[in-house]
Amino acid sequence: MPTLKVTDTTGDTVAIDAHNGLSLMEILRNSGYPIAGACNGSTACATCHVVIDDDWAAKLPSLSNDEEDRLDSVVNLQKNSRLGCQIEMTDTLSGMALTIPA
């Protein structure tokens, strides 16, 4: 089973199981992380904002126009900021590291 390395808002890093076909938002929610995902993955908000580790950012699909528009509203935007709802887990992404920003 694929895994993700998640650093939470307190700085703790944990490896979690990640099922293929689910979005990062769904995986994080299912693992008990406080990801609001207010729009349930319809790219209408930015409450599933995550920051992808530099080593993994280039392996992800490009941002859609909608995702880029939503990220413009993020206060603590970083160069590898993404919406968790827009990244689908695959075996290729197993081991990916991400941070849930405070």
**Rounded Cα distance, 52 and 96, in Å:** 8
Residue 37's identity, in one-letter code, is G
Confidence of residue 102 (pLDDT cuts 50, 70, 90): confident
Going by C-alpha positions, the residue among 21, 25, 20, 36 that lies closest to residue 98 is: 25
Q: E strands of 1-102, at which residues?
A: 3-7, 13-17, 49-52, 81-83, 96-99
Q: Tokens 């126009």, residue?
A: 65
Q: Tokens 């080593």, residue?
A: 55
pTM of structure: 0.94
> Which fold, 3-99?
Ubiquitin-like (UB roll) (3.10.20)
pLDDT digits (tens, 9 = 90+) for 21-43: 999 999 999 999 999 999 999 99
**Domain spans of the chain?**
3-99
